[in-house]
Amino acid sequence: MWRKTPDWLFYLIVVILIYANSNRASEKIDAPAPPPELGTMLPIESPRDERVVVSVEKPKSGIGTAFAIDTKGKWMTARHVVDSCSEVGIRIGERKILRATAQVSENTDTAILTSRWKRKPLVNDLYTERQIGERGYFFGFPQGRPGEVVGSLLARNRMLVRGRYKSDEAILAWSEVSRTKGLFGSLGGLSGAPVMDRDGEVIGVVSAESPRRGRIYTVTPENLRTLITSQNGKPNALTLDTYGLQADRLRRERRIAQVVCIVD
């Protein structure tokens, strides 16, 4: 014969369930965000590194990104941004562009710009070993407007450039994991931008992208060592919560600026 459950037992069960659920909820709220999944140290160059073929079109006017590398008016950008330009300029205001001269590298997708616009250089770290899975922060002017992207380091690849000039160099491949809200499609205009580690130090230069695969490719730290001298300074650590503010600050200080290429 079925017997009715005592009221006190029913209420006890309800209280236990409520207490258990509240504990689980508090654990989810209080738990810190999981860190990026870090893997092994980045391997050295190998003949087995994946090849990435990039076609450089005929010279045409365009835009890119550059960043200050010393206190004497020197800036760095990507070679393909300024190669074969009739005139090159650094945008220092809404309607003001300062003329610059460009010296392109024959071995890497980099170029040094020299101008009268002198800004405090970005701090760099070109000797620390990089780790698979670490985050990289890309600050510049994608699609011609201020924006930033976050990537996760995947591997060392090799980039073969074909078209108006040829080159063959080691690069780092990043998987895109986040970007500025409202930024969709190609990242054109981000070329030449610095990629920074979590300490806020430059470790590369944006060279190419593969929108279909969600990849960003950058010049390796090793290939920048003879082009950029070490800079003293206290960088600002970067996180997924703060990188947008830091990017805005560096652009506002004009330490990261837009590059304009004009082809006659």
Cβ contact 43:157 at 8 Å: no
Q: Tell me what pLDDT residue 231 has.
A: 80
Instruction: Examine residue 14 and state whether it is found in any structural domain, yes or no.
Output: no
Q: Tell me what pLDDT residue 45 has.
A: 92
**What CATH number did the domain enclosing 143 receive?**
2.40.10.120
Instruction: Examine residue 18 and state whether it is found in any structural domain, yes or no.
Output: no
Q: Tell me what pLDDT residue 53 has.
A: 95
Instruction: Examine residue 119 and state whether it is found in any structural domain, yes or no.
Output: yes
Instruction: Examine residue 256 and state whether it is found in any structural domain, yes or no.
Output: yes
Task: Give the number of domains in the chain.
Answer: 1
Instruction: Examine residue 109 and state whether it is found in any structural domain, yes or no.
Output: yes
Please choose, from the candidates 216, 246, 223, 174, the residue with its C-alpha nearest in 3D space to the C-alpha of residue 76: 223
Q: Identify the helix (H) or strand (E) that includes residue 138.
A: strand 135-140
When pLDDT is averaged across residues 185-209 and rounded to a whole number, the result is 96
Q: What is the pTM of this model?
A: 0.85
Q: Identify the helix (H) or strand (E) that includes residue 79.
A: helix 79-82
Please choose, from the candidates 56, 87, 75, the residue with its C-alpha nearest in 3D space to the C-alpha of residue 258: 75
Q: Pick the range with the lowest mean pLDDT from 182-196, 207-221, 229-243.
A: 229-243
Q: Which two tokens stand for residue 73?
A: 């008016």
Instruction: Examine residue 116 and state whether it is found in any structural domain, yes or no.
Output: yes
Which residue range forms the structural domain that includes residue 130? 51-262
Residue with tokens 């200050």: 68
Note the pLDDT tens digit of each residue in 4-51.
Answer: 445 444 444 434 443 444 333 333 333 344 455 678 999 999 999 999
The helix/strand/coil state of 8 is helix
Q: Tell me what pLDDT residue 35 has.
A: 52
Dihedral pair phi/psi, residue 60, rounded to 5°: -155, 155
Instruction: Examine residue 163 and state whether it is found in any structural domain, yes or no.
Output: yes
Instruction: Examine residue 15 and state whether it is found in any structural domain, yes or no.
Output: no
Dihedral pair phi/psi, residue 23, rounded to 5°: -65, -45
